[in-house]
Structure 1
Amino acid sequence: MLLLHRRYRLLIVNVVYWFLLLYIIAELVWWFIALGRQNEKMAGFELARIRSSLDSASAPGSFNTAVRAVHEQAHMQNMGYIGEGGVFLIVLLLGAFYVYRFVRREMRLSGQQQNFMMAVTHELKTPIAVAKLSLETLARRKLGEEQQAKLIQSALSETERLNQLSTNILLAAQLEEGRYTQILEAVSLSDLVTRSVESFSGRFPGRLQGTHITPDLDIKGDPLLLELAVNNLIENALKYSPKDSPVQVTLSAEGHRAVVFRVADQGAGIPEEEKSMIFRKFYRVGNEQTRTTKGTGLGLYLSRAIVRKHRGQLSVTDNHPRGSIFSITFYI
């Protein structure tokens, strides 16, 4: 229902916009025609005056010169009208183009923000409900140590989800407004990726397979931002691929000047026309009423912003036979 209302509103805006634009162009054309007719009448009046004051038979030279001057004046005025009208039309069309693009972009952003708010609501409610249920169960029942450990681990896992969500939202705002102070220091990327893999292996047993991390790969960067970028890519791969499919994480050196971090999944893949759009803020395929996979549309946006701050490159390619490969290249 919300999607239909948004499309209806967009249709109304488009109809009103094009009606007003066509009306202004029609008025401009009518203004040009009216000025042309007025110019012809003025030229006719001037020719009539010349004919009444000059005798073409007795003074043909003066008469012809005066007539020619009237025609030249009328032609110059017509050319002036064409020039003024042409400039006005070009300015009008350029302004209309930029206004149309701006309005479309704002409406698209508004829709994405609405989707984001709905996604954040869903993302907040689920871990809060799970953590609350786990804690209430621990408080009301006497359970064995193994059951208590499972409930505590479940509550901690959901709390970590909440923490990552709040970090993503806060960091996105800080990066966009330029308020985040980046801390550059020597970071062991091998240790950082190893910790992330161990954390996700505990939350998703058996999913991370074929992991290969080259030891002693160091870069200069912000450890908090780098960890967030790595976690976002791994979590996306686990989230957007089937629960029984493996996800492969690799970290390796390419020559002496680059370190490459890759996450390969066997999900549905990303259409070619959307590979550039997935890095936009709030962008998600589909809408929140039909989409089953949880998310806010901030993960890839943040990852690209973080990689750019470290003068690296984030790219996505197709995995074979299916899925996607996200790669971060850090230049050292």
Structure 2
Amino acid sequence: MKISFKKTYKFAVKSALYISLFATAFVVLLQYLFYKKTHENLVFFAIVFLIVCYLFSFLVLQYRVERFIYRRVKKIYDEVSLLESTSLLNQPITTDMETLSREVKKFATEKKLEIEMLEIREAYRREFLGNVSHELKTPLFTVQGYISTLLDGAMDDKVIRKKYLKRAENGVERLIYIVEDLDMITKLESGDLNLEVTDFDIVALIQNVFDLLEMKSSSKNIKLTFEKKYMQPILVKGDRDRIQQVLENLIVNSIKYGKEDGLTEVSIVNLTKKKVLIRISDNGEGVEKQNIGRLFERFYRVDKSGSRSEGGSGLGLAIVKHIIEAHNEKVYVESEYGIGSDFSFTMEKAIKKEKTPKHPKS
């Protein structure tokens, strides 16, 4: 670190003046008492002595005070340098108290923010581990219970054996579903999941998702529909499979929390020349305002009891957020409790390739 003295000299100027005045008056008095000098000689002697004494005092005081402060400030910098991430390491050592105070205050504020962030992350980590434990524990205990029952003698009954093995299989499938979703989120967060970007028709993709989820929506008599008829294909740019997963997660979410005889409606809005907005609206339960900000957190559930009975890994919306952000797009949510919810995300339009006219052969 380079040394940078920012000197105000105020302390040295005043201190040197006080010392010089006192020393000059005292010496002049001694000269008058012991040597009986004339008035003119005493004045000349006093002026010369005052100047020399003042300059000497000023230089000594300024140098000594600066070195004294510098040594102690440098010790503070050296101790703080143990924290490699501190911004003080990039600053020159200063002995100016105002500058030093400002830098220390900035350093303390940064450390306070880091501590608060670490506390938030630690609380999130504990909550996340608790949620993972709970999500995995339920199907594990279910599988263990059915297998233990079979081993205890129920295996001899063909009907019970088939039924319990089927339920155990469902529990294993749920475990696989959770683990696969966790693996996908990990890849998305680390950037290891490569997107295969192509041009595709978003209208056809949404219709395909409707067909896949038709039976699930019929079980609650929820109608899946477009807001209006789209007569022409709407081409967008992205990873078709991942966007299909986004649509499936959002529409399944609307079915899961939808009301009997409800409606899930999808609309495609032209935002700009380069962007479209895909909106999934429902007239289901809706979400209370205090919960909206946490909807995209892993394992966060608004309804801690009922939503688990509906199945799912609790990772659907978190995956939606990560996939959309991997496309450098945005995802939005609006909801009113008891009225319904709107989830939407942006997509980049694909550039339509103009067909070159064929020239007739001459």
Q: Same fold (TM over 0.5)?
A: yes
Match of 1:184 in 2: 197
Return the TM-score normalized by structure 2: 0.58
1:226 corresponds to which of 243, 251, 272: 243
Cα distance change, pair 253–202 in 1 and its aligned pair in 2 (3 A): same
2: CA distance, partners of 1:119 / 1:302: 19
**In the TM superposition, what are the counterparts of 1:83-102 in structure 2 within 5 Å?**
83=98, 85-102=100-117
Match of 1:109 in 2: 124
**In the TM superposition, what are the counterparts of 1:270-285 in structure 2 within 5 Å?**
270-271=288-289, 275-280=292-297, 282=298, 284=300
2: CA distance, partners of 1:242 / 1:220: 30
Question: What is the number of equivalent residue pairs in this alignment?
Answer: 284
Cα distance change, pair 45–65 in 1 and its aligned pair in 2 (3 A): closer
**In the TM superposition, what are the counterparts of 1:1-40 in structure 2 within 5 Å?**
none
SS at match of 1:168: helix
Match of 2:339 in 1: 322
- 1:262 alignment partner AA: I
Q: Are 2:214 and 1:197 aligned?
A: no
Cα distance change, pair 55–103 in 1 and its aligned pair in 2 (3 A): farther
Cα distance change, pair 91–250 in 1 and its aligned pair in 2 (3 A): closer
1: CA distance, partners of 2:314 / 2:20: 71
1:236 corresponds to which of 253, 257, 280: 253
Cα distance change, pair 225–132 in 1 and its aligned pair in 2 (3 A): farther
Aligned partners of 1:319 and 1:325 also within 8 Å: no
Aligned partners of 1:317 and 1:324 also within 8 Å: yes
Aligned partners of 2:237 and 2:347 also within 8 Å: no
- 1:196 alignment partner AA: V
1:264 corresponds to which of 275, 278, 282: 282
Task: Using the TM superposition, give the Cα deviation of residue 300 of structure 1 relative to its aligned residue in structure 2, in angstroms.
Answer: 2.0
Q: Are 2:318 and 1:301 aligned?
A: yes
2: CA distance, partners of 1:166 / 1:203: 23
Higher Cα Rg, which structure: 2
2:264 corresponds to which of 242, 248, 267: 248
1: CA distance, partners of 2:16 / 2:221: 86
Match of 2:36 in 1: none
Task: Using the TM superposition, give the Cα deviation of residue 248 of structure 1 relative to its aligned residue in structure 2, in angstroms.
Answer: 0.8
Deviation digits for residues 110-167 of structure 1 (CA, Å, limit 9, x no counterpart): 223223323432464488579979x999994459xxx99xx97x88876665454333
Aligned partners of 1:268 and 1:323 also within 8 Å: yes
Aligned partners of 2:19 and 2:54 also within 8 Å: no
- 2:282 alignment partner AA: A
After the TM superposition, which of the residue ranges 76-85 and 115-124 deviates more from structure 2? 76-85
Match of 2:87 in 1: none
Aligned partners of 1:127 and 1:161 also within 8 Å: no
Task: Using the TM superposition, give the Cα deviation of residue 266 of structure 1 relative to its aligned residue in structure 2, in angstroms.
Answer: 1.9
Task: Using the TM superposition, give the Cα deviation of residue 269 of structure 1 relative to its aligned residue in structure 2, in angstroms.
Answer: 1.4
SS at match of 2:118: helix
Please provide the CA RMSD for this pair. Answer: 4.8
Identity across aligned pairs (percent)? 12
Task: Using the TM superposition, give the Cα deviation of residue 231 of structure 1 relative to its aligned residue in structure 2, in angstroms.
Answer: 2.0
2:97 corresponds to which of 71, 82, 93: 82
Cα distance change, pair 190–92 in 1 and its aligned pair in 2 (3 A): closer
Match of 1:26 in 2: none
**In the TM superposition, what are the counterparts of 1:43-58 in structure 2 within 5 Å?**
52-53=26-27, 55=29, 58=42
2: CA distance, partners of 1:331 / 1:227: 15
Aligned partners of 2:259 and 2:285 also within 8 Å: no
Deviation digits for residues 76-130 of structure 1 (CA, Å, limit 9, x no counterpart): 9599552364145234323423432332233133223223323432464488579
Which structure features the higher share of helix residues? 1
